[in-house]
Amino acid sequence: MIYTTTDSPIGELLLAGDGAALQLLHMDGTPAAAWERDDDAFAEVRAQLAEYFAGDRRDFDVDLALAGTPFQQEVWEALRAIPYGETISYGELAQRVERPWASRAVGAANGRNPVAIIVPCHRVIGADGTLTGYGGGLERKRTLLDLEHGVRPLA
């Protein structure tokens, strides 16, 4: 696995994959000892992230290679369909993947999203409109949602 890091307004982001396709985007992540650092890797991903944080990009167009179960893949694809600046509940996400009884399972799949921000799991909130769990922390989730609601660019 090849990795690099990039600075962002929400802290350092770890990018990893095969050098062409992105497999992981973690906040405050630590690379595995066997991984190889290549600071020239994922230049397009870093550029698109910079545009996103500047408020100039709403959708990402990068090669992804996401490892997960078929159910997780389905949930992650549904996450990518949530428009920029919009939020939905876990229950609504469960309905979108045609499993309205499975909001907890959908929440678990959401939590296993390997490429936060690009697959926008931060756009899923509680049924009552409150911010709920986010691997990067609720402050980062609030910051990303504020950016998308036009509160301010972050770059």
Q: Check: CB of residue 87 under 8 Å from CB of residue 125.
A: yes
Beta bridge mates, 88? 124
Are 4 and 38 a contacting pair, CB within 8 Å?
A: yes
Tell me which residues are annotated as active site. 121
- φ, ψ (nearest 5 deg) of residue 27: -90, 130
Q: How far apart are CA 5 and CA 17, in angstroms?
A: 12
Is the model's pLDDT at 151 over the cut of 80? Answer: no
Phi, psi of 6 (to 5 degrees): -145, 140
Which tokens in the block code for residue 144?
Answer: 């990303």
**Is 26 in a helix, a strand, or coil?**
strand
The domain ranges of the chain are: 2-53, 70-148
Report strand pairing: 22-27 vs 13-17: antiparallel
Higher local confidence (pLDDT), 72 or 19: 72
Fold of 2-53: Double Stranded RNA Binding Domain (3.30.160)
Quick: pLDDT tens for 52-95.
Answer: 999 899 999 999 999 999 999 999 999 999 999 999 999 999 99
The CATH number, out of the four listed (1.10.760.10, 2.40.37.10, 3.90.1150.10, 1.10.10.10), of the domain defined by the range 70-148: 1.10.10.10
**What is the C-alpha separation between 138 and 142, in angstroms, rounded?**
6
**pLDDT at position 130:** 85
Its pTM stands at 0.91
Alpha helices of the chain — where are they, by DSSP H? 43-53, 70-80, 90-96, 103-111, 138-148
Band (pLDDT 50/70/90 cuts) for residue 153 is low
